[in-house]
Each structure stands twice: as C-alpha cells, then as structure tokens.
Chains A and B, each alone.
Chain A
Amino acid sequence: MNYSRDKNTLLTVYFLFYYGVFLSFFFNHRLLSQYQPVFFNYNRDLTELSLIATGLPRYMIGHPWTFWAADALLYLLPLPLLVRYIRKGAFSMSLGIVFSLFLAIYLLLANIFWQCHLEPFILYFLLSFLFLTNREDRFYGLLRGARLYFLYIFFSAAAWKIARTAIFNGQEMSDLLLMQHSELLIRDPGSFAARVYAWLIDHPVVSWWLYFGALTVEASFIIGLFTRRYDRILLALAVLFVGADLLVMRLPYWTVLLGGVTLWLRPVGKRSREQRAGGQRGKKSAEKKILLYETTHHENLPALLDLSEAHFDKVTVFLKELSYRNICGREDPVKRWSKTVFHPIPDDYPNRRFLLKVFSFLKKNEHSHFHLATLDNNLLLFSLMLYRIPLVHVSLTLHEINEYFAGHAKSFRDLTESIAKPLLRRRIRHYHFFLPAMVEHFQQKMPGARAVFIPSRFYRQDRVPERTEASPFVIVIPGSVDPGRRDYEAVAGFFSHYCSHAAPSSPVIELVILGNSDTPYGAGIRSRLQQLGSASFRVSFYTGYVPETLYEQRLGEADLVWSPLKVYKKSIRHSPETYGLSTASGLTADLLLTSAPALVPSDLIIPEPFRAALIPYRSMEEWQDRFVRLISDPDYRLAVREKIRASYGLFTKEHFAPSFLALMGLDEKGKEGGIDPGKPVSDERQ
C-alpha cells in the first residue's frame, strides 16, 4: 500500500531530522538544560507573549530542573508514539496531540530564551499533525498542506524581495554581506573566507547577481502551486539554496530541508495511476468518470453526451440552467441520458464561483477525464486550476482557433488571457472541433496536439418530421439577428427582388427568422421584410431566446435553411476568424435537426460530410433558377432530401467512436492507453 509506505517514509524522514536537529542542539550547547537562561526575551510574537504571560518562562528560570525535564521530554516523547506505531501500525491521537503541543512549546521557549529563530521549525510543528490521524485522506491532505507551506517559505521570500524593492538596490547584497560577516572581516581579515566576502562586498554588481540568483531560485518554487511534475527539481533547488546560503551567508539553514519530504512523496500521482490501471483499490477506483463543463453552447453537447455514456462508467455535466432546459428540445435530458448526472447552475451564478465549484467536485470525486465544451471566460483561473489536477485527462472543444493563439494587451482581461493561453496549450493536448477543416487548420498551428472532428449531434431520422407537400414553402434562417455574423441585408434584398418579380401563381413562402430579432438592427430588418408581406409571402420573427423545443420544431419544418454567413468575422476578442476554417457556425448543429438543404455563401469552406446538404451561392441571381425549381418542384425537393438523408447516415455515434476515444486518450477498448495527459501527444501512441 502506498499509504503505508508513504507513512513509513515520512515517519523515518521526520524523526531523522527531528533527532538530527535536537542532537545538533546538544552538540552546540543549545539545549535548555545546557543554556540555563537567566532571563527571557520579547520577540514580538503574540503566541510567545501569551506563553510568557502564563508565567512558564519565569518559573523555569527560577526552577532550573524544568530545563532538564523539558530536554528529557524532547528526546523521549516521540518514543511512545513510535513504539505504538511500530506495534499497532497506527498513531494514537492523544499521544500525537501531546507531542505536537510539547514541540510547539519547546520551540517557543527556545526562541524566548536564546532566539532559535522559528522559521525553519514551523514545518516540524505542522508535519507533527500527521501523527494525529490514521485516515488516509487526512494524511495526504495534511501532506499537501505542508508541501504548500514549504513552497510558500521560498516564494514568499522572493515576493518580498521584489515588493520591498530590495532587488532593485544594486548595493543590497554588498551591504548585506558586510553586515553579515562584519565580525569575520574585523577579527580574521586574512582568512580565505574573509577575503572572498571582502571581494564580493567591493564588487556590488557581482554580489547583486548572487542576490538575483537567490531570488530566482526562491521564485521558481511558485511553479509547485500548479504542478507536482517538477517537485524533484524543486527539492534539488532547495538543497542548492541551502548550500549556497551556507557558503555565501554562513547560515546553516539545513533544518528547513525536512520540508523536502513533502516534495519527495507523490501520493496523489501514485494513487491516481493505480486507480486508472484498475489496480488494487477495487472496482470503484477503476471506474472511468468524465465531467463535462458547459456554459453557453448547449447545442453542442448531445454528441458528446451520447459518446460519453457509451464509453464511460459515470458522466457528470455542469451547465447553466438555461442550457439544461434547452439541451435536447422535446426530450427530457434525464431520460435521454439516463447514466448522466446533471448539475444545472443558476444562470446568474458568477462564472468564477461556478468554475471553483466544478474543480472542487472534480477533485473530490476523482474524475479521470474532464472535457471543456466551452472556454470563454476566466481563462487564467482555468489554466491555473488545470495544473492542480495534473493527472486528469483534459480535452477541449475549441470554437475559435485563431483567438486561441492570439495575444492581446488592451485591457487587464486581455493580459490575463494572453498569459493563460500558452499555459492552456501546454496543459491541454486533446481538442475537439465541429468541422474537419478546423482540425487541419488547428494541426498546422499545434502539430503536437491531437485534434478530432465530432459533430455537435448525431442525425436521427426519427427526430426529423416528414414534410408534407402542403404550402407554404418554409425558409428558415437560424441564429440571432446579428449583423456581425450574418448578412441580413442580402436576405432582405433577395426577397425584395423575388416578391416584386414572383408570378401570382408562385407557391406561398414563409420566411422564419429563427433567432432573437429584438435589437435595433433586428427591428430594421424586420420592418423591411414585413413591408414585403403579401398573400404569397409572410415572415415570422422571434424576440428573446427561442426555446429549443420550438427551435427544433421550426427547423424540422424547413424546406430550405439559409445561412447568410459573413464568412470573415471577428472573434469574441476581435481576432479575425473564418467560418468553416477557424470557427464553426451553429449551422453544423442545425443541419442535423432537419433533412432540408441549406443555402450558404460560396466562400464558406464546404465541410465534406455536409456537402450533399449545402448549396453555395455567389450571388442571388446565380441561384435564382435553382430556388424557383426548389419551391415549385416537389419531386426535386424530395430527391434532394433523400440524398441528404443518405449522406447523414454516417453521423452516428458508432462512426465517431474512434475519434471520441482518441479525444479521451483511450484505446479502442476504451481503456487508458498509458498516456500521461500532461505530456505532449507527440510522445503518445499515434
């Protein structure tokens, strides 16, 4: 068992250091019984002041036998604790509490009497709490806390050197050396050490670089907050730092290295690997669990949920309530995805808290996989949190490729996102796209990563209503009336031209603007189209959010879908994006809700799987004839629909299972491919 092994390792290292430190006290005449103080000091520590207020230090000075008693306890108190552990394999909480309390009091007394400087000894106190528990989770929790504290010791020192501007003082190290070694320089100026220090003092530039080096080493410990991958390197740096401190400052700070044990033990990693391999921890730990995170693009979830249910033991989704209500139109999500647990979050729930909730759940429930179906806010928080779950396989549905590689510095948010993106790219190596062209485009930018095409939903013939030949002829333009994304001017222009030239016997047309048109721009378009209203042309509009049930119903009624996309658009942060290449429109999701053809601008890269359904147009005149044939020839319409249905036959979850398994880093049997998700995919089995 790793727990037993880790406990033994910790116990051994702890008490080696413990007895090492207090034997060094003995050899350096620093035990209380050797020192036998005659007065106590005020070090301006509130706990120390409280201890002084109890009268204990004063009493001890008056009763020197107490110094002997304290030293005897210092050496003997760990013994019952150790004996019990060796005999019973467990710690006694009462012995543990007594030991921790006594250790704290002894250290405080040592500081009160001879100023032992408590800094390196805090970890001895904190790690002693490990002897209070026999619970594995608490043991590792405390170990993690002690590890963070050890990291904190170093990087907080770096932070203060910067915050107090000491690092910007060119004379800093020279002056520090002078004060630190004044006695040596005065008493023993001819010694080798004194000459070296004097040289450094007289060469402030060189000594400043030493100071800068120390700061760099200290600052590097911050990386430990985000990943355990470099813990052994950090441990080596800690040893290097302590060695350099001894040489340069003559400070024997080795006692702090006890904290190195927290970097050496890697409990979480070991456990997770065992769990993934389905090792010795029983069925529960061998489970494959995926958590999906979604905020706004709920229409993209169905395929991921279908595939997740097919390949995972447990599926959990965190999403906004609005998304939950609209995830699959007429069906109840709980019935459709019966293995999935949904966690709807109120729509007004702050995004940051939502994120923290997700990560907390993720860690607590030991998920093996984490898929981000959307990533649009709090990128830095995301990236940092992802480094705290180094053994969870993370994948991402990327909606805007160029934006993902762009850096901006116009605002604080831009800056944080620019910092976050490289971190995300380093951490996330598995990507999902809605179009094959996006996969290729992305792979050119990030060749080491794995990218797959999976549609947003699979095609289900039973969900697409059969169209009767009754009029009117329904043309649906899905999506909100956003001038940045779609060219509604062209739509209005086309129908203006069509209505003025249509023969009286032409079929009735209903144009459905299937998205929120409740904007000033939308109102203008609405007004223009409504003016065209006649017995043979009518327009339907919606204001506000269109519920998914209605959305799917109206799309199902479509004889023709029109997507007047502006192919070259700006991303949410104003990076140039190209529909069909670096970003996907909602059209790819909408198409699979109908078997109607779709009209798209000719400069849109036609995705091969949708080729049968897409009718590219360069100008309105160009496809006028085809349009007339489409509305007036039912047989032609039927033939087109049949062709589309046939081509959509490949949009099944079975067909996309290999892509999904690749996205999840699983082999064809759905098992872990021995892939370390933190490593670049180029290292993996292709």
Chain B
Amino acid sequence: MRRLLIGFFVIQLLIDLSHSLPLFPFIHYAMYSERVARPDSLAVFEIVADGVPLRSADFRIYEWDVLQNALVAYEKQVNTTDFAFDREKMSEGLQRVGAGALYKTLEINLTNAEGLASRFPLWYKTYLSGLLGHSIKTLEVDKAWYRYGSGGVRLLRKETRIKT
C-alpha cells in the first residue's frame, strides 16, 4: 500500500514538474498560476433566442458555463479541422514506436463524424430549448469583440456564427 501511494505521488510530481500532458488521474493543479497579460480585446459569444439576447445572470453558473463551452469547443473543432494537429502528433508518436499500423486501425475512432457544421446549430438549438424549457424558433449566435476601458466597454466588431 505504502509503495503504491509513493508511486502515485512520484508519478503525479513527475507529470506536474515536467509539464507533460496530463494522464488521468495525474493532472495539473495550477489554478490561475499562469502569468497573464491584459488582452487587447474581449471576445464573447452573444446568444439571441427568438430575438431575446440571453444574459448569464438569467442562468445558473454551470448552465451558462456549458452553453459557452459548447460554442468555444465547436469553434475549436472547426478551426483545428477536427483536431487534425493532435491526430498528426499521435500518428507520428505511434510510428516512432513502431505502431504506425495501430494508428491506421484507430483513426476512425479518433475522428468526429462528418457534417458537424450542419448538425451543431440544430443540436445547440435543441439543447438551449431544453434549458429554457420551451422550444426556440430562431437562434442567432454572434462572436463579438469588445475593448475594455475605465469608462466601460466598446464594441469593436461582431461576426455571426450561427443563424437559424
């Protein structure tokens, strides 16, 4: 038991100190320790359902968190061409250890199904309807950039991401 515990903490420390990729259950606990610099602009997703802009204050923290995270994740999925870079690295890694064929076998599992661009807006609308407790007819999601100053915020630009 003692050895297992020591082994566990040794791996945890090694993963932490080496800044390697986490390996559940060995993960980093950094909690806002990265030195940040003030961003030039603040990017937010603005959600308008049936013509009514949604505000975080109208949702529980966790609900709003999921709503925002889904949009962030979708954007990341699109921008990275379904995490192509990660898969490429994985493929290289497996080839390096002589398991290139394994990657070929697993590749299908590692890839999201095609047609997400058409499925996601519909999914989001359905999920949001579930949260609001009524069906939504129209949905618009914009990504907006603002500049923060002592006098408040100023809109810089806005791009539509979803419109149904």
> Which residue numbers of A lie inside 8 Å of B, CB to CB?
24, 27-30, 34-42, 44-49, 52-55, 58, 61-62, 104, 107-108, 114-115, 118-119, 122, 125-126, 137-138, 141-142, 144-145, 148-149, 152-154, 156-157, 160-161, 163-166, 169, 171-172, 174-176, 178-179, 182-189, 191, 201-202, 218, 249-252
Known: A38-B116, A46-B21, A54-B109. 11 other contacts (CB 8 A): A42-B83, A49-B110, A52-B110, A145-B8, A148-B5, A149-B9, A160-B33, A166-B34, A172-B36, A183-B68, A184-B57
Answer whether residue B113 sits at the interface, using C-beta atoms and an 8 A cutoff. Answer: yes
In the bound complex, what is the Cα–Cα distance between A49 and B23 (angstroms)? 9
Answer whether residue B31 sits at the interface, using C-beta atoms and an 8 A cutoff. Answer: yes
Query: Which residues of the other chain, B, contact A202 by a CB distance below 8 angstroms?
Result: 150
B21, B38, B46, B70: which contacts A171 (Cβ < 8 A)?
B38
A45, A118, A166: which contacts B32 (Cβ < 8 A)?
A166
Query: Which residues of the other chain, A, contact B21 by a CB distance below 8 angstroms?
Result: 44-46
Answer whether residue B108 sits at the interface, using C-beta atoms and an 8 A cutoff. Answer: yes
Which B14-70 residues have a C-beta within 8 angstroms of A? 16, 21-25, 27-39, 42-44, 46, 53, 55-57, 60-63, 66, 68-70
**Are A40 and B112 in contact, CB atoms less than 8 angstroms apart?**
yes
Query: Which residues of the other chain, B, contact A47 by a CB distance below 8 angstroms?
Result: 22-25
Name the residue in B5, B29, B131, B153 with the highest tally of chain A Cβ atoms < 10 Å from its Cβ. Answer: B29
**Are B153 and A34 in contact, CB atoms less than 8 angstroms apart?**
no
In the bound complex, what is the Cα–Cα distance between A34 and B131 (angstroms)? 10
Name the residue in A36, A53, A61 with the highest tally of chain B Cβ atoms < 10 Å from its Cβ. Answer: A53
**Are B35 and A164 in contact, CB atoms less than 8 angstroms apart?**
yes
Query: Which residues of the other chain, A, contact B42 by a CB distance below 8 angstroms?
Result: 178-179, 182, 185-186
> Which residue numbers of B lie inside 8 Å of A, CB to CB?
1-2, 5, 8-9, 12, 16, 21-25, 27-39, 42-44, 46, 53, 55-57, 60-63, 66, 68-70, 73-74, 76-77, 83, 86, 90, 106, 108-113, 116, 119-120, 123, 126-127, 130-131, 144, 146, 148, 150, 152-153
Query: Which residues of the other chain, B, contact A48 by a CB distance below 8 angstroms?
Result: 24
Closest to B55 in A: A187
Closest to B25 in A: A122
Query: Which residues of the other chain, A, contact B120 by a CB distance below 8 angstroms?
Result: 38-39
Closest to B83 in A: A42
Query: Which residues of the other chain, B, contact A156 by a CB distance below 8 angstroms?
Result: 16, 29-30
Q: Given A171-B38, A185-B148, verify A55-B27 contact (CB < 8 Å).
A: no
Q: Given A29-B63, A53-B109, verify A178-B148 contact (CB < 8 Å).
A: yes
In the bound complex, what is the Cα–Cα distance between A251 and B32 (angstroms)? 12
**Are B36 and A176 in contact, CB atoms less than 8 angstroms apart?**
yes
Is the contact region of chain A dominated by helix, strand, or loop, or is it mixed?
Answer: helix
- Chain B: minimal CB distance from A489 (Å): 55
**Are B1 and A141 in contact, CB atoms less than 8 angstroms apart?**
yes
**Are A182 and B66 in contact, CB atoms less than 8 angstroms apart?**
no
Q: Given A42-B83, A157-B29, A183-B68, verify A189-B152 contact (CB < 8 Å).
A: yes
A118, A141, A164, A186: which contacts B34 (Cβ < 8 A)?
A164
Query: Which residues of the other chain, B, contact A188 by a CB distance below 8 angstroms?
Result: 55-57
Closest to A168 in B: B35
A44, A145, A189: which contacts B86 (Cβ < 8 A)?
A44
Closest to A25 in B: B62
**Are A119 and B29 in contact, CB atoms less than 8 angstroms apart?**
yes
**Are A39 and B116 in contact, CB atoms less than 8 angstroms apart?**
yes
B8, B27, B110: which contacts A119 (Cβ < 8 A)?
B27
How many pairs of residues, A versus B, come closer than 8 Å at their CB atoms? 198
A29, A104, A154: which contacts B24 (Cβ < 8 A)?
A104
Closest to A139 in B: B1
In the bound complex, what is the Cα–Cα distance between A431 and B19 (angstroms)? 46
Q: Given A42-B83, A183-B68, verify A58-B113 contact (CB < 8 Å).
A: yes
**Are B66 and A30 in contact, CB atoms less than 8 angstroms apart?**
yes
**Are B116 and A182 in contact, CB atoms less than 8 angstroms apart?**
no
In the bound complex, what is the Cα–Cα distance between A40 and B130 (angstroms)? 20
Query: Which residues of the other chain, A, contact B57 by a CB distance below 8 angstroms?
Result: 184, 187-188, 191
**Are B38 and A138 in contact, CB atoms less than 8 angstroms apart?**
no
Query: Which residues of the other chain, B, contact A141 by a CB distance below 8 angstroms?
Result: 1-2, 5
**Are B66 and A29 in contact, CB atoms less than 8 angstroms apart?**
yes
Name the residue in A28, A148, A249 with the highest tally of chain B Cβ atoms < 10 Å from its Cβ. Answer: A28
In the bound complex, what is the Cα–Cα distance between A230 and B57 (angstroms)? 39
Query: Which residues of the other chain, B, contact A41 by a CB distance below 8 angstroms?
Result: 73, 76-77, 83
Query: Which residues of the other chain, A, contact B25 by a CB distance below 8 angstroms?
Result: 47, 104, 118, 122, 125-126
- Chain A: minimal CB distance from B112 (Å): 4
A36, A39, A153, A179: which contacts B36 (Cβ < 8 A)?
A179
- Chain A: minimal CB distance from B73 (Å): 5
Query: Which residues of the other chain, A, contact B111 by a CB distance below 8 angstroms?
Result: 58
**Are B29 and A152 in contact, CB atoms less than 8 angstroms apart?**
yes
B23, B43, B44, B110: which contacts A53 (Cβ < 8 A)?
B110
Contacts A/B (CB < 8 Å), 13 sampled: A30-B62, A42-B83, A46-B22, A53-B110, A58-B108, A58-B113, A164-B33, A166-B36, A169-B36, A175-B36, A179-B36, A185-B153, A186-B153
In the bound complex, what is the Cα–Cα distance between A438 and B56 (angstroms)? 71
Query: Which residues of the other chain, B, contact A44 by a CB distance below 8 angstroms?
Result: 21-22, 86
**Are A39 and B153 in contact, CB atoms less than 8 angstroms apart?**
no
Q: Given A138-B1, A179-B42, verify A153-B127 contact (CB < 8 Å).
A: no
**Are A115 and B69 in contact, CB atoms less than 8 angstroms apart?**
yes
**Are A29 and B130 in contact, CB atoms less than 8 angstroms apart?**
yes
Closest to B105 in A: A53
**Are A118 and B66 in contact, CB atoms less than 8 angstroms apart?**
no
The 3 A-B pairs at the shortest CB distance, nearest first, are namely A160-B33, A55-B109, A47-B24
Query: Which residues of the other chain, A, contact B62 by a CB distance below 8 angstroms?
Result: 24, 28, 30, 252
**Are B108 and A35 in contact, CB atoms less than 8 angstroms apart?**
no
Query: Which residues of the other chain, A, contact B123 by a CB distance below 8 angstroms?
Result: 36-38
Query: Which residues of the other chain, A, contact B86 by a CB distance below 8 angstroms?
Result: 42, 44, 49
Query: Which residues of the other chain, A, contact B150 by a CB distance below 8 angstroms?
Result: 202
In the bound complex, what is the Cα–Cα distance between A40 and B148 (angstroms)? 33
Closest to A191 in B: B57
In the bound complex, what is the Cα–Cα distance between A29 and B119 (angstroms)? 20
Closest to A178 in B: B148
In the bound complex, what is the Cα–Cα distance between A165 and B33 (angstroms)? 8
**Are A49 and B29 in contact, CB atoms less than 8 angstroms apart?**
no
Closest to B15 in A: A46
In the bound complex, what is the Cα–Cα distance between A169 and B36 (angstroms)? 9
**Are A252 and B61 in contact, CB atoms less than 8 angstroms apart?**
yes
- Chain A: minimal CB distance from B59 (Å): 9
In the bound complex, what is the Cα–Cα distance between A183 and B90 (angstroms)? 36
**Are A183 and B44 in contact, CB atoms less than 8 angstroms apart?**
yes
Query: Which residues of the other chain, B, contact A172 by a CB distance below 8 angstroms?
Result: 35-36
In the bound complex, what is the Cα–Cα distance between A55 and B150 (angstroms)? 50
Query: Which residues of the other chain, A, contact B46 by a CB distance below 8 angstroms?
Result: 187
- Chain B: minimal CB distance from A141 (Å): 4
Closest to A53 in B: B106
In the bound complex, what is the Cα–Cα distance between A541 and B28 (angstroms)? 64
Query: Which residues of the other chain, A, contact B109 by a CB distance below 8 angstroms?
Result: 52-55, 58
In the bound complex, what is the Cα–Cα distance between A178 and B152 (angstroms)? 12
**Are A28 and B44 in contact, CB atoms less than 8 angstroms apart?**
no
Q: Given A104-B24, A153-B29, verify A34-B69 contact (CB < 8 Å).
A: no
- Chain B: minimal CB distance from A477 (Å): 50
In the bound complex, what is the Cα–Cα distance between A164 and B148 (angstroms)? 26
